Chain A
C-alpha cells in the first residue's frame, strides 16, 4: 500500500525535486536572466489570468488537436496497409526515409510562402510531424500480427477489409498507441516551433516574444506552462492507452521512441 502511494507520488516528487534544483541553481548563479523557480511559478497565474494569452494558448491547442486528429486518420490506415502488404511497404518506405530527418517545422517558411501565415500552414506542419511516427508504429504493429489469426479470419469468411478492421487493427493497437503517444509530444514540439517561426499568435509566440523583449519571468513561466501541457497530455494519453489495451502485456510506462 505504502509502496503504491509512493510510486504514484514519484513523478510529483520528481517535479518538486527538479524545481528545487532549479531554485538552488538560480540562487547560486544569481543572474538576472535566470530567475528562481519560485519567481517563475509566481508569474504563471498572471499569464493564465490574461485573457489574450489564454485565447492564444487555446488557439494553439485547437490547431494541435485538429492536426493531430487529421494525422491519425491518415497515418493509421496507411501504416496498417504498409504492414500487411509488402508492395505498399516498399512503395512508401524510401519516401518516408528521406522525409524523416527533415525538421517539419523548418518547412514552415516555405509553406508560409504558399499558404500564408494562417492556421492552415501551422496545422499542415503539425500534421506532417505527427504522421511519420504514427505511420511507422502502425506499420510495425501490423507487420507483427500473427498470420494464423488472419488465416482463421479468412477461413471464417471475413473479407480483406473486414480482416483489416477486426483483426489487424486491434492486434496492432498497442503499437499504434505507442506511435500516437510519440506523435502527441511531437505535435506539441512542432506547435511551439511553428509559432516561433510564424510569429503571429499562439503559445510559442508568447514565449519567444518574451525572450526578445527580455521579460525573463514570462519566458520561464511559459516554459513551465508548455512543459506542464506536455506532461499532462502525455499522462492523460497514457490513462486512455491503458484503458484501451488493458488486455495487452503491461506496457512500459514511458514512451520508448521519440522520433
Chain B
C-alpha cells in the first residue's frame, strides 16, 4: 500500500471520531444536556491537560501503571511458560488442558472478593486479578502457536545436529512468537480494563478510584478524565507492543 492511500485511510478513520466529538459538543452547546450530566468536550480535555500537570494525577497514573505492568508481566511469564510446556509435553498437556478449560470461561471479576479477603486491599489483590485475567489469552495463544510449529522445522534442526533440549528455545519458541505476541496484545487490553475495574471496586488510589470519587460527588468532568486517560494509555501501550512486534518479527514473512 502506498503512502497516499494510507493517509487517506487514516483521514477516513478520523471522521467518525471527529463526528462523535462534534455530536458531543452539539448536544452540550445546544443545551440538550446540562453541563452537570454531559460537560462539553473542550472542558473535559482542558481539565485533562490541567490534571496531567499535577503531581497528584501523575501519582494516580503511576500506581495504575504499576499494577497493570506487574499483573501483565506475571501473566506473560506464566502464560508463555505453561503454554510452551503444555505444547511440548503430553503429560503436562493432559493436566493443564482440563484445568484451563474450566478456568478460562470463569468470570474472574467474581473472584475478586475472594482475593480481597485473602490478599487484602493493597496492590496484591489487584495485581493477582490482572494476572489471572490476562493469563489465559496469552497461555492459549502460546499453546496454539507452539503446537502449530511445522514439523519440518524441527526435523531440519535435528538433522543439523541441534540437541533436543535446545530445539525448544531455538525452534519452537521463535516460531511461536507471532502467536504469543497476538496473545500479549489481547492480554494487555484486558489488563487495562481489569486494573481499572479493580481500582473502582476497592482502592485508595489509581484511575479507577478517581472515577469512583468523582461519581460520588457527581463531578461529571472528573468522571470523563480517567476514562479518557485509560483509553489513551491503552492506545500508547498497544502502540509500544506493535513496535516491539515489528522489531521482533523483522525477519518473518508478513502474516
Contact = CB atoms under 8 A, between A and B. Distances in A.
A35 to B, nearest CB: 10
B50 to A, nearest CB: 20
Contacts of A91: 12-13, 15-16
A226 B101 contact: no
Nearest to A196: B201
Nearest to B201: A196
A87 to B, nearest CB: 7
A18 B200 contact: no
Interface string A214-226: 0010011011001
A38 to B, nearest CB: 16
Interface in A70-121: 86-87, 90-95, 97-107, 109-110, 113-114
Interface stretch (B153-161, B163-171, B207-215): B207-215
A188 B108 CA distance: 10
B14 A106 contact: no
Interface in A30-57: 33-34
A211 B141 CA distance: 35
B107 A185 contact: yes
A256 B193 contact: no
A18 B137 contact: no
B12 A87 contact: yes
A198 B220 CA distance: 17
B218 A90 contact: no
B224 A110 contact: yes
Contact of B189 (A18, A189, A259): A259
A223 B110 contact: yes
Interface in A159-207: 185, 188-189, 192-193, 196-197, 207
A208 interface: yes
B110 A207 contact: yes
Contacts of A94: 10, 13-14, 16-17
B140 A106 contact: no
Contact of A193 (B98, B109, B118, B141): B109
A259 B238 CA distance: 13
A157 interface: no
B47 to A, nearest CB: 15
Nearest to B179: A256
Q: Most chain-A Cβ atoms within 10 A of its Cβ — which of B9, B110, B190, B227?
A: B110
B105 A234 contact: yes
B107 A95 contact: no
B9 A90 contact: yes
B197 interface: yes
Given A99-B231, A101-B233, A252 B144 contact: yes
22 contacts: A10-B94, A11-B98, A33-B117, A34-B117, A91-B12, A98-B231, A101-B189, A101-B230, A101-B231, A103-B192, A106-B211, A109-B211, A109-B212, A113-B37, A114-B37, A114-B38, A229-B107, A234-B104, A252-B144, A256-B144, A257-B186, A258-B190
Q: Which 4 A-B pairs have the closest CB atoms?
A: A101-B234, A234-B105, A10-B98, A94-B13
